[in-house]
């Protein structure tokens, strides 16, 4: 058995909430990424979605394991209501319209988890969770930068803000 002190209750709560919220968030991300692998026009976007799918599935499995091992919590998770609406909207689109909308939605989706991961990198008790949260920030920031670049290049949709936020996170955590 691991011979180490338990985390403070507030930190334990932070870890549990984060892992559960990430599982829920990724369940939505998986549905969106699967849709993307089928509907996206550009091969490079389909590839990004396949990679995203694999990393989100891996992280869900990891967080379910840690919740069980560290806290005795068995957690399946569910897609958040807000994400259900995004999924519904995306499911009605195809071709360029799908891609343009997807690139914005998936970027926003990534930025939500990037922001939540920041607290965990700073405050989590378990080193492996801090490492995983940092990796989430770095990988998803890179994907947001790519998606925003494509949205601008392919669709002349060069909205300010999302790419710049991701670049700041990448600068700080890479």
Q: What is the pLDDT of residues 137-173, one digit of tens each?
A: 999 999 999 999 999 999 999 988 999 999 999 999 9
Q: What percent of the chain has pLDDT over 70?
A: 97
Is the pLDDT confidence value at 2 over 60? Answer: no
The answer to whether 87 and 32 have CB atoms below 8 angstroms apart is yes
Confidence of residue 24 (pLDDT cuts 50, 70, 90): very high
Q: What is the pLDDT of residues 100-133, one digit of tens each?
A: 999 999 999 999 999 999 999 999 999 999 999 9
CA 97 to chain centre: 23
Q: Is 165 exposed, middle or buried (0-12, 13-18, 19+ CB in 10 A)?
A: buried
Confidence of residue 6 (pLDDT cuts 50, 70, 90): confident
Q: What is the pLDDT of residue 3?
A: 45
Q: What is the pLDDT of residue 4?
A: 60
Please give the biggest Cα pair distance in the chain: 56
Q: What is the pLDDT of residue 1?
A: 44
DSSP for the chain reads ----PPPPHHHHHHHHHHHHHHHHHHHHHHHHHHHHHHH-SSHHHHHHHHHHHHHHHHHHHHHHHHHHHHH---------HHHHHHHHHHHT--HHHHHHHHHHHHHHHHHHHHHHHHHHHHH-S-HHHHHHHHHHHHHHHHHHHHHHHHHHHHH----SSHHHHHHHHHHHH-
Residue 61 to residue 109: CA distance in whole angstroms: 20
Is the pLDDT confidence value at 29 over 80? Answer: yes
Count CB-CB contacts under 10 A for residue 3.
Answer: 4
List phi, psi (to 5°) of 80.
-60, 150
Mean pLDDT calculated for residue range 63-69: 98
């Amino acid at each position: 058995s691991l011979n180490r002190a338990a985390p403070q209750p507030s930190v334990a709560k932070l870890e549990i909430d984060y892992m559960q919220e990430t599982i829920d968030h990724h369940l939505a991300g998986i549905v969106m990424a699967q849709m993307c692998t089928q509907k996206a026009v550009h091969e490079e976007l389909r590839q990004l979605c396949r990679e995203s799918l694999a990393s989100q599935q891996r992280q869900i499995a990891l967080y379910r394991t840690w919740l069980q091992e560290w806290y005795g919590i068995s957690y399946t998770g569910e897609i958040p209501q807000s994400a259900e609406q995004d999924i519904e909207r995306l499911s009605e689109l195809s071709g360029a319209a799908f891609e343009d909308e997807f690139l914005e939605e998936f970027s926003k989706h990534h930025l939500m988890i990037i922001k939540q991961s920041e607290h965990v990198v700073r405050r989590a008790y378990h080193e492996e969770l801090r490492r995983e949260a940092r990796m989430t920030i770095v990988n998803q920031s890179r994907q947001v930068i790519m998606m925003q670049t494509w949205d601008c290049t392919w669709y002349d949709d060069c909205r300010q803000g999302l790419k710049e936020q991701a670049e700041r996170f990448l600068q700080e955590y890479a």
